[in-house]
Amino acid sequence: MRSQELSIDGGPPTRFLAMQDPPDHTRLRGLVSRAFTPRMVEGLRSRTRAHTDRLLAEARAVAEAGDGTVDLVSTVFRPLGGLVLTEMMGIPDEFHQQAFDYSADSARGLDPDFTLTPEQATRRDEGRLWFARLTAELARRRRAEPGDDLISDLVRVQDGDDGLTDDELAVICVNLLAAGFGATAAQMSNSALALLRNPDQLRWLREHADRIGPAVEELLRFDGPLFLLTRAALEPVEVAGHEIAAGEQVFLAMGSASHDPAVYPDPDRLDLSRTPTKILGYGHGIHFCVAAPVARLATQVVLNALAAHDVELAVDQPVFNGALVIRTLAELPVRLGGPVSA
């Protein structure tokens, strides 16, 4: 099985949405967008705040019980991303731990096949198949008893005219789960590291909590989760003087593009007071990530909450996970204290 497609129980492979072209992409994107509404996303905010407050309190307890340090990735960012996503999709508690366990392997599987070990590729495929079977089971339950969640909305779309097939529904949900778990935690992790390495900007955020929206956009530009994309040329083309043959694979360095000095003044400086445009952290055009609003919401909530605490890096060089597509930290050890006095 290739990194950008899913084969369910021996059936024909189906490409993930990001690797499809019009008219198939246009149809599927339109169907998914009917369920992925701003009202649904915004409805997650209060629960996200509650999860964030609880996870930060638990992280502080871990720090206080030990040497004063705690890993924010394992205690806050990955659990929060998973909780937001599973709540949005209506995944019952009984499946949460297995979903969390498989999510890292599935997201790492977005990397080109030749960069993965056989064990990583096997784990990726196992995770994706588990997510696909879970989607089928939950779709069956929601068809009998619809709920107020994304899978219920997608089932309603599936049952409409020109609706989703079973395989399309599974691929969309696997894509959201695999990329959503990883990308959401990645944006939170990378953004927190950028703030901790720039204490003046952390102080600025404490003083301008109401500017969290554009601040997260600047953090997304500065070090977003989407570092690299792979594409194949459909026909011969010349780009910046380089000839690319039909069928040739191309790597698009999105992280580098976000630091283009021709687009962003002083691009290597983090400046939360600016309002960046042309953000590529979640793709561009018709392939812009449909779940990006969820990652942005979770990042806004957790960074405002974290900035209100006494927090600083506990290591000089945190370890990254080694992925090429969804680039993020493996861990972020910090010294975490209580709320900062006003």
Top CATH class, 5-225+291-335? mainly alpha
More confident: 202 or 232: 202
Predicted confidence (pLDDT) at residue 341 exceeds the cutoff of 50:
yes
Tokens of 90: 């209506």
**Confidence category of residue 162, pLDDT binned at 50, 70, 90:** low
Predicted confidence (pLDDT) at residue 1 exceeds the cutoff of 50:
no
More confident: 31 or 41: 41
**Confidence category of residue 44, pLDDT binned at 50, 70, 90:** confident
Domain boundaries of the chain, sorted by first residue = 5-225+291-335
The SS3 of residue 304 is helix
CA distance 326 to 71: 19
Among residues 154, 41, 71, the alpha carbon closest in space to that of 330 is found at: 71
Predicted confidence (pLDDT) at residue 178 exceeds the cutoff of 70:
no
Instruction: Please provide the average confidence, as pLDDT, over all residues in the chain.
Output: 85
Beta carbons of 52 and 329 less than 8 angstroms apart: no
More confident: 334 or 169: 334
Task: Please state whether 146 falls in left (phi above 0), alpha (psi between -120 and 50) or beta.
Answer: beta
More confident: 280 or 184: 184
CA distance 342 to 340: 6
CA distance 196 to 216: 14
pLDDT digits (tens, 9 = 90+) for 301-318: 999 999 999 999 999 999
Predicted confidence (pLDDT) at residue 108 exceeds the cutoff of 70:
no
Q: What letter represents residue 102's amino acid?
A: Y
Tokens of 212: 């969290």
CA distance 12 to 85: 28
Please state, as a whole number, how many other Cβ atoms lie within 10 Å of the Cβ of residue 335. 14
pLDDT of residue 100: 79
Beta carbons of 58 and 315 less than 8 angstroms apart: no
The SS3 of residue 282 is coil
